[in-house]
Structure 1
Amino acid sequence: MTDLVTPRSPATDLFGDPIDAKPPWFKSSSFLRPDFVPEFYVADLRSFVPLESLAAELRSHLADLKAELVDLINRDYADFVGLSTRLVDVDAAAGRMRAPLVEFRDKVASFRAVVDAALVAIRSGLRQRSEASAAREILQLLLDTFHVVSKVEKLIKELPTTHSNQSSPDTVSSEKGSLTNANSIQNVEIGSNLREDQSILLERIASEMNRLKFYTSHAKNLPFIENMEKRIQNATLMLDGSLGNCFVDGLENRDAKAIYNCLRAFAAIDNTSAAEELFRKTIVSPLIQQIIPHDHLQTVGGASSDELEHDYQKIMQCIEKDCKFLLEISSTANSGFHVFDFLANSVLKEVLIAIQKGKPGAFSPGRPAEFLKNYKSSLGFLAILEGYCPSRSAVVKFRSEVVYMDFIRQWNVGVYFSLRFQEIAGALDSALMASSINPVDIQGKPHKLTMKQSITLMESLKSCWSDDVLILSHSDKFLRLTLQLVSRYSSWLSHGLSARKARSASSRPVQNSEWSISAQVEDFIYVMHDVTFLGSELSGVFLGQVIQVLGSCSDEVVDLVRQSILQAGKNLEDLLPAIMDTMVEAIVEKSVEDLRQLKGVTATYRLTNKLPVIPSQYVSLILRPLKAFLDGEHIKLLMKDARNELLHGVTEKITTRYYELAADTVNVARKTESSLLRLRQGAQRRVGATSDSVDNNISDTEKICMQLFLDVQEYGRNLSAMGIEASEISAYRSLWQCVAPEDRQSQITL
């Protein structure tokens, strides 16, 4: 078979490719690319090609290049050798070419020197020109400044001249003693014209002063300006004084035109605060001090004199009567008077000063009721002031003023909440510190709370959201207080129930759970009733009241509040099973005390021929505590479902304990009888007696079971009398099978 195999060509591999062929990933053309970077090339290939393989290929490619270079040299070797023979008289040719090049270089150098000199000259000229232009501008600025100062001084000097010229007719008329009605009207018109002319002139002066301020700001630290500084200051003082007098005169006479021009002048010189302060001192302050004097005395033994509601009403009347005219002028559309804020910096500022000096106690949260009343009155006052703002942006500006924030800052709502917290939480804590349950009179109120602790809780919860306590801006804190109150009440109940179950309150002395140790089982009726009522109240009426108070909040906030209150109510209602278990255990304990008499059955029928014929007396006592509890006068406080739950819970647990005692008694009797039987049989074997001598009387165990069977039947009848089907209780069925005869174990018959 070897003869048939064709030998493989040494020039090709298994797949017919040349043995010296390059791998497909190695492309030598990549080296010729202008953006070729060796590091990037190696980094790209090393992710799928081992470095050893790449190095081998590069070495192979280098060898190929060297071989190719040798081949090229060998191929054109004759040309390389003949190149040197053809380079004849090269130095002479280079010399002939060097001469014109040197000449050209010298010409270029000389021309460059000429250009550099011209450039230096041009730059020097431009610099001198720029300096001259700057000097000319400064000179022009100084000239303009001088002219404006002179013009302002001239215009200011015209003010008294205008006043005397305009007032001469009035003087003449007064000298003549003319008091007629026509002359009075003429005097009013002349005075109005005088104020208007003065205000127009002052507005013009203010405009020039604005130009002067611009010029001086651009020519600071110049000797000429420093020399004119005193003249500028004098002109400024005279303008401020004259403008202030004219503005006050216009305010006192309610001259709208004069006020309008004066406001434009104040705005031009950027001195709005002066106008606001003049209005405050001239118009607002006398009015406010009549309402709230700075030396206001506190009354003794009567109503507090720090109440602000009536004062705010009077202040609003004064604002409407004496301040509204200026507020309307300052809010004129497209007048540029938006820079003024007379509402905050004049009216509100004066009100704040008057309260601070005349009624400082109004800001004190030490008397929470009066503080809240004044705080709400102040918020209403601010809301009325905002009504004078012509736009929403004006309201935002009013609220952002420093005076507004200072006014709000005076009301320390945080301290107020702390006092209310201590008041409300302290009342509940005091009620929960009682060592016993304090039921109240519930006659005629079957659906109301019955314990003092529960009533205090409900009153505290309602106080948190009443108009006399709540501050809406701090509703989150009052919500937290609400949840804390419910949690405190729930903890009080939980710790009390745990302490009663453990029969010791020493483990939690802080929680004061002694009330549960001393409480009677009937007292837990009040507890269950109140917890049920509180749970339904929290998820019903109380929740509706809270949601109504928060009606202005967003739906998301309202949903969170609803969920938190519902969760608090649910946590409280989760204690109902524990309360029910406490009542059940208390009744069962009383019943078990009588049930323990069952052990006396063993002593009654041991070593006697007496047979049981009637049920034991203890049977009638087993359910007596339960019956007494259900027949109590306060059982109506429990819902019908709760009563049924308690009835079934108590009877099941009593029956279970009954079965445990009966089974234990029967087992002990059987063991005792078995031991006695073994002893008797041993004694008979020792004396030689036969088993026939053993008596065939009824055993003690049988007599005990007979008596217990009668007792169980009677117990079943007692359960039926209370509405409980005994056969439905699993423990009763076990009890029946434990004591019933064999022929009656399959069916329970009472």
Structure 2
Amino acid sequence: MPDQISSPAPRSATDLFSDPLDSHPLWFKPSLFLSPNFDSESYITELRTFVPFDTLRSELQAHLSSLNHELIDLINRDYADFVNLSTKLVDVDSAVLRMRAPLLELRDKIQGFRGAVEGSLLALKDGLSQRAEATAAREVLELLLDTFHVVSKVEKLIKELPSVASDWSNGDVNPVQKKNASGLQHVENGTTNLRETQSMLLERIASEMNRLNFYIAHAQNLPFIQNMEKRIRSASLLLDASLGHCFVDGLEHWDANAIYNCLRAYAAVDSTSNAEEIFRTTIVAPLIQKVIPHGSSGGLVSGASGDELENDYQQIKKYVENDCKLLLEISSAENSGLHVFDFLANSILKEVLAAIQKGKPGAFSPGRPKEFLKNYKSSLDFLAYLEGYCPSRAAVAKFRAEPVYVEFMKQWKVGVYFSLRFQEIAGALDSALTASSLVLVQNYQSDENSQNLTLKQSVTLLESLRSCWSEEVLVLSCSDKFLRLSLQLLSRYSNWLSSGLAARKKGSAGANPGCEWALSAAPDDFVYIIHDINCLAKEISGAYLDHVLQVLSSCSTEVLDLVKQSILYCGKSLDDLLPLVINTIMEALVQKSVEDLRQLKGITATYRMTNKPLPVRHSPYVAGVLRPLKTFLDGERATTYLTNAARNDLLLGAATEITGRYYELAADLVSVARKTESSLQRIRQGAQRRAGASSDVSDHNVSDTDKICMQLFLDIQEYGRNLATLGVDAANITAYRSLWQCVAPADRQSVINF
């Protein structure tokens, strides 16, 4: 730290415990005197608040004394050098004077030279500026002279062109009559050569006009150019008129050379839109007018055909092939420099769009989905035909980016079409699913290789799913929406089933409309549902899925995998409903069986407090316990529509559930009987003790509980035989084993046999 005071040396080498000579109090810091920003007044002002002036003065004097001692020590230490310094500094002032003179002289020379250089530099800059101005003026003058010469040259060349009234006599020939049987009209050689010469002259004029436009763009604000604007405008109008007549004449006579030269002329003056418009109005419009007649004001022409466009497009394709192919080939020729033209979009497609809008506006209406889809697909086919004239992919991309192409595609309200189809397809399924009961259909076969669907609800679902991907409905650009609709249809059907089954289990439809069918359905009716679920799941994961993937075959592998997974997932959701349907049937059958099982409560009344002997045969109610299950399995619907796997699952599940209920009722009956028997036994024993009678009067008699258990044992044996008749081994049912242990005699507990 700079302000830290180091401990000074003691007074002598042996005086180790005395104060040092230059010891200072803590508030006095000599290092602050060496600071560049030291101010004596502020220093004293700061210390006066806690240090008296006398103390401060004595301390400063002591510090001054120590500095003097230190100076003396330094002089004594370097005395020889101090003495030599005085000898070396003899006559220093005179030496300084001698060195100052040449330095001053050198500075004056440098300043003079700097002034001369700056003057020369200014003169040079002025000269360069004047030279630049002269060069710019010369360039402007040359530009003006070139402009004047080009204007004069253009006017001279225009005068060499034929007049419109006389020399362009062939320009009014009807384009319909321009061909003979071979496709071309034979003209005289002189006329052809004249047309070609004029087109070459026009190309040359256009090239000069291109130069003229370049000059004008660089000197448009000059008075000279402004004075020539009238001449330039006049020359430009004459060029446009002459070029238009020559272009029309070349088109009407199929003069390839003249057309090529005219197109190059149009490209030179950057007037491609004029050429495209002339071709549209001169050649394309009359042809389209014959195919789709329409008035100039946009009204429909009487006698016009309907709104179908397929036949119209076929005729237009023929006209394009016969009357437009030459120009399209010329404009798309390689290295021709004519790729700036787009006659496909701005001439042909533009006129077709205008004709449809005026002559057949109903073709764009999605209100009639079937006709709309047919016209839309025909239009896409027509666009693909036009794209066939594009020489490269870049040309196709350019064609699709044209405003006319975009406007043409906007006319087709595909989104509205899908909404209408959505309402049609989804509405049909929703209407079928909101029926209050299951509706059977007759003689419906979902596919040649599949079984018949039995319910109208299932048939409507399959037809709706197929409609989403049929050629009469699907729009490929909306395939994602139709896929979502297909999944929604499957989800709606699955929800219809699950909601109905839940309502049946609950016992009421509640606030869920469309579940009434499940409440009114008989157990046999659910067989139809099981059959239809199997058929639908097989169809969806098989032929239906293959058809969808085939329709979307142009998509990437990743997309196809996602589509496949989504459809298979919905198909699996149908399979997952099968256990619920089987459980519903089982619950209904078990409920009927339990009604017969409740008759076993009469066994207690039969043997309680009676003298009946031990039973030797089963009760009559046993025959009716499994009768509902057997009747169901032997019924026509179950034998016709249930698969062996579903049949076995239902049989085993129902038998297990019925046996479980049987065990609950029997075990409760036996438990109550034993408790009652025990209570009666205690009462008898007490009465006998009071009367003094022997306690083993009835020890050799069979108890009522034993009779009840014996009757139940005979019943479950018969029940086991009935199960075996249905194909179920009773010994494999846990509840039956428990029931056997509950009622079987002691010597029969270990082995179950009937």
TM-score by length of 2: 0.85
Q: Judging changes above 3 Å, is the alpha-carbon distance between structure 1 residues 531 and 726 closer, same or farther for their aligned structure 2 residues?
A: same
> Residues of 2 paired with 1:312 and 1:200: CA distance?
37
> Residues of 2 paired with 1:733 and 1:72: CA distance?
123
The equivalent residue for 2:323 is 322
The equivalent residue for 1:645 is 649
The equivalent residue for 2:347 is 346
One-letter code of the match for 2:668? D
The equivalent residue for 1:247 is 247
SS of equivalent to 2:160: helix
User: How big is the shift at 1:695?
Assistant: 6.1
User: How big is the shift at 1:127?
Assistant: 0.2
Is contact 2:168-2:245 (8 Å) kept?
no
User: How big is the shift at 1:161?
Assistant: 6.8
The equivalent residue for 1:60 is none
User: How big is the shift at 1:436?
Assistant: 1.1
The equivalent residue for 1:208 is 208
Is structure 2 residue 237 aligned with structure 1 residue 237? yes
SS of equivalent to 1:746: coil
Q: Judging changes above 3 Å, is the alpha-carbon distance between structure 1 residues 161 and 499 closer, same or farther for their aligned structure 2 residues?
A: closer
> Residues of 2 paired with 1:731 and 1:187: CA distance?
108
Number of equivalenced pairs = 662
The equivalent residue for 1:266 is 266
- 1:9-408 residue pairs with structure 2 within 5 A? 76=78, 78-80=80-82, 82-160=84-162, 188-295=188-295, 297=300, 305-408=306-409
User: How big is the shift at 1:689?
Assistant: 2.8
> Residues of 1 paired with 2:75 and 2:274: CA distance?
100
The equivalent residue for 2:554 is 552
Is structure 2 residue 632 aligned with structure 1 residue 629? yes
SS of equivalent to 1:262: helix
One-letter code of the match for 1:465? W
The equivalent residue for 1:576 is 578
Q: Judging changes above 3 Å, is the alpha-carbon distance between structure 1 residues 164 and 403 closer, same or farther for their aligned structure 2 residues?
A: closer
Segments of structure 2 that go 5 or more residues without pairing to the other structure are 1-71, 171-184
The equivalent residue for 1:738 is 742
The equivalent residue for 1:594 is 596
Question: Which shows bigger deviation, 208-217 or 85-94?
Answer: 85-94
> Residues of 1 paired with 2:219 and 2:106: CA distance?
55
User: How big is the shift at 1:542?
Assistant: 0.7
> Residues of 1 paired with 2:371 and 2:728: CA distance?
62
The equivalent residue for 1:479 is 483
Is contact 2:363-2:372 (8 Å) kept?
yes
> Residues of 1 paired with 2:214 and 2:631: CA distance?
101
> Residues of 1 paired with 2:422 and 2:637: CA distance?
35
SS of equivalent to 2:306: coil
SS of equivalent to 1:477: helix
Q: Judging changes above 3 Å, is the alpha-carbon distance between structure 1 residues 231 and 71 closer, same or farther for their aligned structure 2 residues?
A: farther
Is contact 2:284-2:351 (8 Å) kept?
yes
Q: Judging changes above 3 Å, is the alpha-carbon distance between structure 1 residues 71 and 709 closer, same or farther for their aligned structure 2 residues?
A: farther
User: How big is the shift at 1:693?
Assistant: 4.0
Q: Judging changes above 3 Å, is the alpha-carbon distance between structure 1 residues 316 and 80 closer, same or farther for their aligned structure 2 residues?
A: farther
> Residues of 2 paired with 1:675 and 1:434: CA distance?
59
> Residues of 2 paired with 1:444 and 1:565: CA distance?
22
Q: Judging changes above 3 Å, is the alpha-carbon distance between structure 1 residues 444 and 412 closer, same or farther for their aligned structure 2 residues?
A: closer
Is contact 2:293-2:301 (8 Å) kept?
no
- For residues 596-642 of structure 1, the C-alpha deviation after alignment (integer angstroms, 9 at most, x for no partner) is 10111101111111122221110000000001101111112010111
User: How big is the shift at 1:696?
Assistant: 3.6
User: How big is the shift at 1:167?
Assistant: 8.6
TM-score by length of 1: 0.85
> Residues of 2 paired with 1:436 and 1:216: CA distance?
86
One-letter code of the match for 1:146? F
One-letter code of the match for 2:326? F
The equivalent residue for 2:64 is none
Is contact 1:719-1:725 (8 Å) kept?
yes
> Residues of 2 paired with 1:370 and 1:298: CA distance?
21
> Residues of 1 paired with 2:682 and 2:517: CA distance?
56
Is contact 2:280-2:347 (8 Å) kept?
yes
User: How big is the shift at 1:299?
Assistant: 9.8
Is contact 2:350-2:404 (8 Å) kept?
yes
Q: Judging changes above 3 Å, is the alpha-carbon distance between structure 1 residues 278 and 74 closer, same or farther for their aligned structure 2 residues?
A: farther
Is structure 2 residue 617 aligned with structure 1 residue 620? no
- For residues 233-258 of structure 1, the C-alpha deviation after alignment (integer angstroms, 9 at most, x for no partner) is 11111111111111111111111111
> Residues of 1 paired with 2:271 and 2:186: CA distance?
34
The equivalent residue for 1:461 is 465
One-letter code of the match for 1:311? D
The equivalent residue for 2:724 is 720
Question: Which shows bigger deviation, 413-422 or 81-90?
Answer: 81-90
One-letter code of the match for 2:631? A
Q: Judging changes above 3 Å, is the alpha-carbon distance between structure 1 residues 84 and 721 closer, same or farther for their aligned structure 2 residues?
A: same
- For residues 472-503 of structure 1, the C-alpha deviation after alignment (integer angstroms, 9 at most, x for no partner) is 12111111111111111111111111111111
The equivalent residue for 1:171 is none
Is contact 1:499-1:516 (8 Å) kept?
yes
SS of equivalent to 2:376: helix
Q: Judging changes above 3 Å, is the alpha-carbon distance between structure 1 residues 744 and 325 closer, same or farther for their aligned structure 2 residues?
A: same
The equivalent residue for 1:19 is none
User: Identity over the aligned pairs, expressed in percent?
Assistant: 68
User: How big is the shift at 1:674?
Assistant: 1.1
> Residues of 2 paired with 1:466 and 1:499: CA distance?
36
- For residues 711-733 of structure 1, the C-alpha deviation after alignment (integer angstroms, 9 at most, x for no partner) is 11111111111111111211111
One-letter code of the match for 1:355? I
User: How big is the shift at 1:522?
Assistant: 0.7
Is contact 1:277-1:346 (8 Å) kept?
yes
SS of equivalent to 2:727: coil
> Residues of 2 paired with 1:264 and 1:249: CA distance?
16
Q: Judging changes above 3 Å, is the alpha-carbon distance between structure 1 residues 470 and 697 closer, same or farther for their aligned structure 2 residues?
A: same
Q: Judging changes above 3 Å, is the alpha-carbon distance between structure 1 residues 596 and 75 closer, same or farther for their aligned structure 2 residues?
A: farther
User: How big is the shift at 1:683?
Assistant: 2.4
> Residues of 2 paired with 1:743 and 1:543: CA distance?
63
The equivalent residue for 1:517 is 519
One-letter code of the match for 1:541? A
The equivalent residue for 1:30 is none
Is structure 2 residue 712 aligned with structure 1 residue 711? no
CA RMSD of aligned residues (A): 2.4
> Residues of 2 paired with 1:368 and 1:584: CA distance?
47
Segments of structure 1 that go 5 or more residues without pairing to the other structure are 1-69, 169-184
